[in-house]
Structure formats: structure tokens, C-alpha cells
């Protein structure tokens, strides 16, 4: 993840909110607002959406409710949100798959850039690369040396084909270093962790520090690096990607808020202001911190520019790696 966003924390967002022009959407919301989550209940994106749904309802006096529409890597729910009326009655909480899934397919029901208007980047969380302790390596350079000496022998687990951990490791291992490592996709991070602990896969790509830390403490996983520029409180001895010598590895989680393209700008501005207000609340910051998230709160134009940049970057990785889903 680009450091410009990781460093754009809640303090800056507060200044943006405080200095923004008053929005005119005085009657918003006039009807219940659906917060679409294109993943099953209980996942990272769902948890974020529910935190903000309650607070938006309290702040704006309307009804904000979460609707989970999972399937096809988020494609089904996101496509449905893209087709919704652009009147502020539908909000979409997104994760990295929002950008990458359409790039893997010849036809998708939405365009990440054209079908939506950005509201804000809500939060980020570092990713972790870890291994089964049976591998006699203690850092990333030693891991690269082991993989280079044993082409095709080792495998790495991810939460799924085309997920950010998959694409980031294709870039880091195969495209950047020419390493032959077998990718084993799972349906979520839980099964990927189980596989790596059992030794079926040697390497685990993905998982937030708060999720990986208990297994590191128990000695069933060894963490080698985390994304981002700061060490994690949950894994304080694990080096950052720069410290580990892998500045090109970008597998952290991020969550954002979008609305259907054409939604009135005053509604977009109001939502951005309200989300910034919510992120300044102590209980929300504590809740996000417990989950391992760093609040962001970027303005819509900056979030839009970042999404376009990320979309182009992962498009290049997918094309070079010849990845596709039929």
C-alpha cells in the first residue's frame, strides 16, 4: 500500500472535515440507506460497515442498515450496488477485491472507476507474511534463498485466487525475483492459516497482525514481515517491509466507501464529513484499534486518484503474470 495513504491518518482527515464547506443535503437521508457489503457477515468489511452504520444512523437521524450480498469474490453485491439509484440510498463498503476482481475477468458487472464515486478511504491494516516453523529461515532474504535453491518445491497459501495477497506475492516472488513457488488459494484466511500451521503449505500470505499474532505466540507460525512503514503493536518484533528488504510487497488490507456514480456531490460531501466525525470518536478509534485498523478518512478526490493508481498497478501485474478467471 502506498505510504501516502498509510500516513494520511485521522489527524489530517479531521482538518479536512473541519475546513470543508457546509454541505446542503439538509434532508438526507429521506429514506432508509442500504449499506451494501459484497461479502458474508462476520468478515473484515462487514465489521467495518456495521461500526459505521450505527454511528451514521445516530448522527444523521435516519435508518442505515447493512445488507450482505456475497458471491463471486464480491462481484455480485458490487454489481448490484452499481445498478442502484444514485440518490444516496445505497452506500458500498469496499475491500481490495473491488479493484482486482474485474481485472481478472473478461466481463464484469461493474467498472471500479466509472461505476462509482469515491467517498473516503476508511481504514487500513497491515498484511503479514509468515511461514511454518519447520522452515529453517528467520528472515525474508533467507526465505528467498531457500525458494531459489528449490524451484517448485514450496507452496504459499492465500485467502483466494486474485486476492491482494495473491497478486502481491505473484509480483514479489515470481515477477520481481523469478522464484517458482506454487500458489494454493483457499476460501478465506482461516483455511489458509490452518493449512500453513499443518505444514501442507509452507508459506502464508495474508492475515492481519491481530489474526496472526496468537499463532506466532503459540509457536505454530513464524512471522517474517508486515506491510507498512510502522511495526505492529500486535507483532512488535516483526520487521516492516522496508526493514525486511521487501519494499515492493504490498499486501495490506484497506477498506473504503463508495456510492453509485452520479450521486449528488452534497450527499458525498456530507457522508465524508460524517465518517470523519465518527472516526474522531474515542469508542470508534478504540474499536478499530482492537481490530488492527488504522483510521484514514481521506477526501473523495484523493481517494479517487489513489484508486485509479492502484487499478493501473494491479492491471499491469495481472497482465504480466497472465492471471485470469473464466
Is residue 185 one of the residues assigned to a domain? yes
Element spanning 309, H or E: helix 300-321
Q: How confident is the model at residue 25 (pLDDT cuts 50, 70, 90)?
A: low
Residues 273 and 20: beta-carbon distance below 8 Å: yes
Count of domains in the chain?
Answer: 2
166/307 same-domain check: no
Question: Tens digits of per-residue pLDDT, 229-286?
Answer: 889 989 999 999 999 999 888 888 899 999 999 999 999 999 999 999 999 999 999 9
75/153 same-domain check: no
With vertex at residue 103, the alpha carbon angle to CA 3 and CA 295, rounded to the nearest 5 degrees, is 30
User: Burial, 66: exposed, middle or buried (Cβ in 10 Å; 0-12, 13-18, 19+)?
Assistant: middle
Average pLDDT, the chain: 89
44/118 same-domain check: yes
d(CA 15, CA 221): 41
| Residue recorded with cell 440518490 | 87
Give the length of the chain.
Answer: 326
Question: Tens digits of per-residue pLDDT, 270-321?
Answer: 999 999 999 999 999 998 888 888 899 999 999 999 999 999 999 999 999 9
pLDDT at 219 over 90: yes
Kindly report the number of other CB atoms within 10 A of residue 27's CB atom: 7
15/115 same-domain check: yes
pLDDT at 326 over 70: no
102/31 same-domain check: yes
Please, which residues bridge with residue 93 across strands?
A: 37, 257
The pLDDT, as a whole number, for residue 22 is 43
Element spanning 145, H or E: helix 140-149
Is residue 231 one of the residues assigned to a domain? no
Q: How confident is the model at residue 58 (pLDDT cuts 50, 70, 90)?
A: very high
pLDDT at 124 over 80: yes
Contacts of residue 296, defined as CB under 8 A and 6 or more positions apart, other chains included, come to 5, 8, 9, 10, 13, 120, 121, 122, 123, 124, 254
Q: Report the percent of the chain where pLDDT is more than 70.
A: 92
Is residue 70 one of the residues assigned to a domain? yes
Final residue in a domain of this structure, among 208, 226, 244: 226
The pLDDT, as a whole number, for residue 156 is 97
More confident residue, 39 or 218: 218
The pLDDT, as a whole number, for residue 291 is 81
**DSSP track, 94-119:** E-THHHHHHHTSS--S--TTTSEEEE
pLDDT at 183 over 80: yes
**Set of cell numbers at residue 203:** 508459506
Region 31-39: mean pLDDT is 95
pLDDT at 54 over 60: yes
Read off the CATH number of the domain in which 50 is found: 3.40.190.150
Residues 176 and 148: beta-carbon distance below 8 Å: no
Kindly report the number of other CB atoms within 10 A of residue 297's CB atom: 27
Is residue 232 one of the residues assigned to a domain? no
| Residue recorded with cell 505510504 | 3
49/71 same-domain check: yes
* Helix and strand element counts for the chain (H, E): 12, 11
Kindly report the number of other CB atoms within 10 A of residue 67's CB atom: 14
Read off the CATH number of the domain in which 148 is found: 3.40.190.10
Is residue 183 one of the residues assigned to a domain? yes
The pLDDT, as a whole number, for residue 210 is 86
pLDDT at 18 over 70: no
265/214 same-domain check: no
119/261 same-domain check: yes
d(CA 316, CA 323): 11
138/213 same-domain check: yes
Is residue 269 one of the residues assigned to a domain? yes
147/209 same-domain check: yes
Region 184-198: mean pLDDT is 93
Is residue 203 one of the residues assigned to a domain? yes
pLDDT at 163 over 80: yes
275/212 same-domain check: no
d(CA 5, CA 306): 8
Q: Which domain holds residue 33?
A: 3-124+253-321
The pLDDT, as a whole number, for residue 132 is 98
Region 49-68: mean pLDDT is 94
93-to-67, 149, 189, 254 alpha-carbon distances in Å? 10, 43, 19, 11
41/61 same-domain check: yes
pLDDT at 133 over 90: yes
d(CA 278, CA 186): 34
Q: How confident is the model at residue 1 (pLDDT cuts 50, 70, 90)?
A: very low
d(CA 282, CA 286): 6
Question: Of 10-14, 217-221, 225-229, which has the strongest mean pLDDT?
Answer: 217-221
Q: How confident is the model at residue 3 (pLDDT cuts 50, 70, 90)?
A: very low
Amino acid at each position: 500500500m502506498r505510504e501516502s495513504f498509510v500516513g494520511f491518518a485521522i489527524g489530517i482527515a479531521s482538518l479536512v472535515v473541519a475546513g470543508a464547506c457546509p454541505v446542503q443535503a439538509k434532508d438526507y437521508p429521506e429514506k432508509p440507506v442500504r449499506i451494501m457489503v459484497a461479502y458474508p457477515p462476520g468478515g473484515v468489511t462487514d465489521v467495518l460497515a456495521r461500526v459505521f452504520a450505527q454511528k451514521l444512523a445516530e448522527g444523521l437521524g435516519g435508518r442505515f442498515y447493512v445488507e450482505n450480498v456475497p458471491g463471486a469474490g464480491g462481484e455480485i453485491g458490487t454489481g448490484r450496488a452499481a445498478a442502484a439509484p444514485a440518490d444516496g440510498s445505497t452506500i458500498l463498503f469496499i475491500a481490495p477485491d473491488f479493484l482486482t476482481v474485474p481485472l481478472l475477468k473478461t466481463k464484469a458487472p461493474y467498472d471500479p472507476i466509472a461505476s462509482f464515486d469515491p467517498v473516503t478511504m476508511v481504514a487500513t491494516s497491515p498484511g503479514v507474511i509468515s511461514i511454518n516453523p519447520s522452515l529453517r529461515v528467520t528472515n525474508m532474504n533467507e526465505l528467498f534463498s531457500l525458494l531459489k535453491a528449490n524451484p517448485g518445491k514450496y507452496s504459499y497459501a492465500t485467502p483466494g485466487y486474485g486476492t491482494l495477497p495473491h497478486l502481491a506475492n505473484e509480483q514479489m516472488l515470481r515477477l520481481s525475483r523469478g522464484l517458482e513457488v506454487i500458489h494454493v488459494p483457499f476460501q478465506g484466511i482461516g483455511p489458509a492459516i490452518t493449512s500453513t500451521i499443518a505444514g501442507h503449505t509452507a508459506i502464508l500470505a495474508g492475515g492481519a497482525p491481530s489474526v496472526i499474532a496468537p499463532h506466532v505466540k503459540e509457536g505454530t507460525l513464524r512471522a517474517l514481515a508486515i506491510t507498512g512503514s510502522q511495526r505492529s503493536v500486535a507483532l512488535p518484533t516483526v520487521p516492516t517491509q522496508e526493514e525486511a528488504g521487501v519494499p515492493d510487497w504490498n499486501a495490506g488490507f484497506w477498506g473504503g466507501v463508495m456510492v453509485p456514480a452520479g450521486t449528488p456531490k452534497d450527499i458525498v460531501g456530507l457522508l465524508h464529513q460524517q465518517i470523519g466525525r465518527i472516526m474522531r470518536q474515542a469508542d470508534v478509534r478504540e474499536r478499530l484499534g482492537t481490530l488492527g485498523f488504522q483510521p484514514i478518512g481521506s477526501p473523495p478526490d484523493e481517494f479517487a486518484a489513489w484508486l485509479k493508481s492502484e487499478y493501473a498497478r494491479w492491471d499491469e501485474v495481472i497482465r504480466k503474470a497472465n492471471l485470469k478467471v473464466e
